[in-house]
Amino acid sequence: MAKKDMNKAGAAGIVRYTKKQLIGSEKYRDRRDLLWALLEDEKVYSAAEAEEVINQFMKGKVKVC
């Protein structure tokens, strides 16, 4: 398994992952395309933050032309 990235929050017990690690995880296998489009390359995310990004996108309104 890929090495987990740690930052200041990681030292406090919150595990954070890179975009690539989240996309490669089994947990998000059905959402890989979505994560690829929504997450920033150089940023690290906790699992809760990744879920929040997904939920915000899914709750967005669709524009009708």
pLDDT at 62: 83
pLDDT at 52: 96
pTM of the model: 0.73
Identify the burial level of 30 via C-beta atoms within 10 angstroms of its C-beta, where 0-12 means exposed, 13-18 middle and 19 or more buried: exposed
pLDDT at 19: 96
At residue 5, φ and ψ (nearest 5 deg) are -80, 135
Q: Where are the domains of the chain?
A: 8-58
Tens-level pLDDT at each residue, the chain (65 residues):
445 555 555 557 889 999 999 999 999 999 999 999 999 999 999 999 999 999 999 998 888 87
